[in-house]
Structure 1
Amino acid sequence: MKIRQDRLAINPLQWVASADGWIDPTLAPPLDEQLAVIRDAGLKALHSAVPGDLTPKAYAARLADHGISPAPGYIPVRLTDDDAERRTFRDTAARVAGHHAELGVDTVFLAMGMAKDAERVARPAVGHLADQGRLERVRDLLAEMAGIIRAEGIAPAFHPHVGTWAETEEETRFVLDTVDPSVLAFGPDMGHLAWAGADAAQLVRDYADRVASVHIKDLDLGLAARAREAGWDYRKTVLAGLWSEPGHGNADIEGFVGALPDDFDGWLIVEVDRGARPTPEESVRLCGEWAAQYA
């Protein structure tokens, strides 16, 4: 397996993994500290997330100071009947897509978002309370947001995620099969799909012409299966040691990457939702060592 280093990035979630098995962005160290660690790990691109106190131009300059390029970021949305909240999601999608356009990044991941008290966070990865009518609303929401993103010249890549109303293989296929490819691309996360028992590599093969960029993860597949069977909640599963640095779990990363089309030129973004190492810095370093093997 050979990976294009100029299309390999990291989303350093290690720094924001909270003690309760969730994500807390306030835990992140200053941007320049993160960039120095990422650079020293040999990684050359970063998941784009323009801070509120920087313009896209200033953000790009900060990355460039460390020899790092911007890569696709992430837009989460949720079902809501509140018009003001819906407008906020629309505005956020347009703003983040506009940032990507200014950064010269042509793809952004589009996913359903999570909340700590959500029903599928309490019973994740099994399609809990599946409902066709709700799934159609999810599809319509993703298509609407995708249209807003497209209007900024950016390709929205649908990103199934455990704990949301679009987490299983069946739900993934429904969304992709019922939204026109010219509107919505595909941005699979091999780890979240595997946690939900899906065959991520087969999904990549089946929707090869729509795969825009992907997330690379490693995990303990046996633990994922035990958690699904036992009905563990999202945070319990994460805290039990689900995630690990690439090459340190038993996910078939090579099979997933090997399923990508020969002419694939999208991004591969490494994510470790919760590092298995003592410090986030050590976790990022191991991500860089894994990537260097495939240069």
Structure 2
Amino acid sequence: MSRIAANPIPYWATAGKTRPVFDEAFRDFQEIGFTAVKADVPDDMTASSYLSWITSYGLQPSLSLFNSPFDETVAPADEVERAKKFAAAQVGLGLDRTMISSMAVPERLASPAVGAGFSPARLDRAIDMCGEVCRTLAAEGLQPLHHSHVGGVFETEHEITKLLDDLGPEVIGFGPDTGHLRWAGIDPAAFIRRYADRLGGIHIKDVFPDLLDRRDLSYRAATETKRLWAEPGLGVVDFEAVLAAIPPTYDGDFMIEVDEPSVESKRESHRMSFEWAQTALAGRVSP
């Protein structure tokens, strides 16, 4: 059965992915009741030592994310090699799928959620490169699922649908983020229904309405206001419709992700989110 998983991003986003930072997050997750966590293996750890580490907190690995700009700043051959190493660690943890995303194109971080600097040629090149990486991940035993993310080359509805439609279900699955879709002006429920047969993972994220129509804030500035990302149920994402769009055969986890908590305490943000998820996802997740 699916699990309620946690992404410790607010712990490490500014402090870095260090063991003390993860220790704090894992302690909090254990006390709150989470049983699964996004699998981020530190560079100085093996997959087996990481697994032993998180297991000591009562946690199991949940699907992670392979991130690349998929633009002219990276070479396809280099990204393929990174994908092979990433896949080896993830498969070593017993995982069979991963999200794959683009999230760091400078002009789009400066002007997020509007498809800044759109170029058909760049999009085609990015799709080709993403396809090559997806095939590499699959060959290593890891099913790739596209993960929507504002700030990347696959940001708008046109860009995401072209990626998914051009590559097809045999190359790439679907692992949406409800908050990023909503920020980009896409109806999460409708989009999930469109690609429901390819759904293998999901990030449960909410957004406040305050900044959805602002065009004068960078990605970082919008996040730092604490009025962009919301704990699930506090924002404008229609989760009743989202959950109705998810097929009963869905076998992935429901990963809670609040990049920048709207409350001061990271632990309290996760407690609120877990409490909401236990009610909203009753019958869909392990007790």
Confirm or deny a common fold (TM above 0.5): yes
- Classify 1:130/1:81 alpha carbon distance in 2 versus 1 (closer, same or farther; 3 Å): closer
For structure 2, the 5+ residue unaligned runs are: 283-287
Q: SS state of the match for residue 274, structure 1?
A: coil
1:137-286 maps to which residues of 2 (within 5 A)?
Answer: 137-220=125-208, 222-227=209-214, 230-240=215-225, 241-286=227-272
2:50 pairs with 1:59: yes
- 92-101 or 29-38, which deviates more: 29-38
Calculate the TM-score normalised by the size of structure 2.
Answer: 0.91
2:34 pairs with 1:10: no
Aligned length: 280
**Distance in 2 separating the partners of 1:262 and 1:255:** 14
**Distance in 1 separating the partners of 2:197 and 2:242:** 15
Shift of 1:65: 1.5
Partner of 2:99: 109
**Distance in 1 separating the partners of 2:125 and 2:48:** 36
**Distance in 2 separating the partners of 1:33 and 1:81:** 37
Residue among 85, 88, 100 paired with 1:98? 88
Shift of 1:270: 0.8
| Native 8 Å contact 1:32 1:62 kept in 2 | no
**Distance in 1 separating the partners of 2:98 and 2:24:** 25
**Distance in 2 separating the partners of 1:231 and 1:136:** 28
**Identity value in percent:** 34
- Over residues 154-195 of structure 1, what are the superposed CA-to-partner deviations in whole Å (9 max), with x where a residue is unaligned? 100011210111111111110111002111111111110100
Q: Which amino acid aligns with 1:225?
A: L
Partner of 2:285: none
**Distance in 2 separating the partners of 1:10 and 1:202:** 25
| Native 8 Å contact 1:112 1:166 kept in 2 | yes
**Distance in 2 separating the partners of 1:129 and 1:255:** 32
**Distance in 2 separating the partners of 1:243 and 1:113:** 16
**Distance in 2 separating the partners of 1:43 and 1:237:** 28
**Distance in 2 separating the partners of 1:33 and 1:26:** 11
- Classify 1:252/1:133 alpha carbon distance in 2 versus 1 (closer, same or farther; 3 Å): same
Partner of 1:21: none
Shift of 1:283: 1.5
